[in-house]
Amino acid sequence: MSYKIDEISSQKNTWLEQRKKMTDRDFKFETVSGFPTNDIYTPEDITGLDYVNDLGMPGQYPYTRGVQANMYRGRLWTMRQFAGFATARESNERYRYLLSKGTTGLSVAFDMPTIMGYDSDHPRSLGEVGRVGVAIDSLQDMETLFSGIPLEKVSTSMTINAPASVLWCMYIAAGEKQGVPSEKLTGTIQNDILKEYIAQKSWIFPPEPSLRIITDIFAYACKHVPKWNTVSISGYHIREAGSTAAQELAFTLANGFAYIEAGMAAGLDVDDFAPRLSHFFNAHIDLFEEIAKYRAARRIWARHLKEKYGAKNQKSWMLRFHTQTAGCSLTAQQPENNIVRTAFEALSAVLGGTQSLHTNSMDEVLALPSEKAVQIALRTQQIMAYETGVANVIDPLAGSYYVEALTNKMEEEAEKYFAEIEKRGGVLAAIDQSFFQQEIADAAYQFQREVDKKKRIMIGVNEFVNDDEHLEIDLLKIDPQIEKDQVARLHKLRSERDNLRVGETLDALRKAAAGTDNLIPLILDCVKAYATEGEIIQVMREVFGQYKEKPIF
C-alpha cells in the first residue's frame, strides 16, 4: 500500500480533530538542546527535501546515509576504549587487558602534565603525574607503553593537542624501534588546537604558530605516514563544556573548515590532506537529536568540501568520525544508572553511522575506570553489535519524518552559525572575540537552570533520588609512589642519554622554529635522541610564546 502527500495531509487533518480532544502530561516536549518537537511528523515537515529522491544512498554524495555503501554489514565500527593512567607500564597492562577482551583499537589518555607540555619533574606537574591519564616524558615511555603490542596490526588514537607533534613523533619512533615503518602505521592524533581555545583550554602556543605546526603535520604525513589521520576535529569537548547539539555541530565543522583553509594557505592541495581529516563527536542522551546531528554533519562536510573548497577526491568529501558517549551526562548519584545512559548514547552513535566508538564506564564521574567497569562498557558495544540487530540494516532510520526534519533543522542551525562566524572574520577572529566561549557558557547556564528548576529531569539527581544512597563500587586509586617512580626514571634517562646530541637536536629545532622549515623532521630527531617532551616544547615556547585567553566578561 502506498500513500500520496495529499492523502497523508487529509489523514493529518482528521487526526488533528481527534488530537484537540486530548490532553498531554505535564512535560517539556523538546530535545535536550531546546528544539521544540512536534506531536508527529509527516512529509510536510521535511522542508527543502524531496522526501524520497534527495535522501541519496549510503556511500554516495552527500553521504547523509553513511560513508560506506555497506556500512556495518561489511565491517563493524572500531570498538576503541579510551584508557591510560599512572605510568606507561600500568597503562600497557590495561591495553593488553582491553585487547584480550575484544577491543579492536586503542585510544591513549595522557595525564595533565603531558597534555600541557611539562615533564613529570616540572614544579607544575607536582601531584598530577599519572592521575587522569598516562605520564609520557620521552620515547622511552612510549616504547614501554606499546611493548608487546604490534603497531603494524593495531590502530591507535591519541588524545593530545598542543604537544601532538611531539607525541606523534614518539609513536613513529616507537614503531621504527619495533621494525614497523611509518608508512604502515594507522591511527589518529587529535591535534585539534582550535577547540582548545574554544572549550577545553589546554593550549600552549598562540593560534598562528599552532596552525603552522598542524599544517607541517599535514605535509609530513602525506609523504611519510599516509595511513594516519592527522587531525580529529573534535566536537566532544565543545559539548562537554556545555554546548547544544547544534553548537557542537557548527563549531566543530567551522574548525574543520579553518584547517582546510590553513592547509591550502600553506600551499597544500586540498585532496592531499583532506581525506585524512577525521572527526570526533559526542553521543549525548537525546537519541534522535544525536542521530540527526551525525547525518547533518556528513551532508554539510561533503557539500562544503566539494562546492566551496573544490575537492575532487571523493574521500575528501567523506566525513568519518569517532564517537564517545557523553561524560557530562553521567551522574555520581546512582552510578549504575550510567550503564543504561551509555547504552542509549552508544545506540545513537551506531544508528547515526559512526566509524569508531568509545563507551564510558559507569564510575568515570568518580574516578578513572576500574577494570570491571571498563569490561561492562566494552560489553555494551559488543551486545549491541552482535545481539540487537541494529548493525544488520544500513541507515535503518532513513526516511523517518522526524529524523529527516530534525536533520534538516540541524543543518539549518549550523549554516546560521557559519554565517555569523564569517561575519566576525573567521574562526580565529571569533575566538579572539570570545564568541564561541560565550555561546557555550550561555547554553550551559540555561541547561543548569532547567535542571535546578526541574524543567529537565535527571534521574537520581533532581528526581527519583535515593535519600539513603551509599556508594558500593570499587574505585581505581592511583598510588602516590607512581609519581616518584616516574620522576626517578626521568632523571635516570637524562643521566644516561647522549646529552651533547640532545642539545644539538634542540638547537636545530629552535632554528627551524624561527624560520619556515617543516618542524616535524626536527622534532623527530629530538625524540630519537631521547629529548623529553618538556625540553622540546620549551624550545618552541621560547620561539612562539604562550597563549593567554582574553576574559569573556
Taken in order of first residue, the domains within the chain and their CATH numbers are 53-434 (3.20.20.240)
- What is the predicted pLDDT for the residue at 49? 45
The amino acid at residue 350 is V
Closest CA to 390 of 380, 399, 378, 375: 380
d(CA 283, CA 189): 20
What is the pTM for the complete model shown? Answer: 0.91
Cβ-count burial 491-504 (b if 16+ within 10 Å, e if not): eebbeebeeeebee
d(CA 162, CA 140): 21
- What is the predicted pLDDT for the residue at 66? 94
- What is the predicted pLDDT for the residue at 177? 96
Q: Is 18 exposed, middle or buried (0-12, 13-18, 19+ CB in 10 A)?
A: exposed
Q: Distance of CA 206 to CAs 211, 212, 549, Å? A: 9, 10, 9
- What is the predicted pLDDT for the residue at 5? 54
8 Å CB contact between 293 and 329: no
- What is the predicted pLDDT for the residue at 347? 98
8 Å CB contact between 278 and 323: no
What nine digits make up the cell of 396? 535503518
Please give the full DSSP string across 256-298, using - where no structure is assigned. Answer: HHHHHHHHHHTT--HHHHGGGEEEEEEE-S-HHHHHHHHHHHH
| Residues of the chain predicted below pLDDT 70 | 1-9, 15, 25, 27, 40, 42, 46-54, 469-471, 552-553
d(CA 27, CA 407): 24
Which residue, chain included where needed, has cell 582550535? Answer: 194
Residue 156: what are its φ and ψ, rounded to 5°?
-120, 130
What nine digits make up the cell of 517? 622549515
- What is the predicted pLDDT for the residue at 51? 37
- Is the backbone peptide bond immediately before 43 cis, with ω within 30 degrees of 0? no
Cα angle value 104/105/107 (rounded, 5°): 150
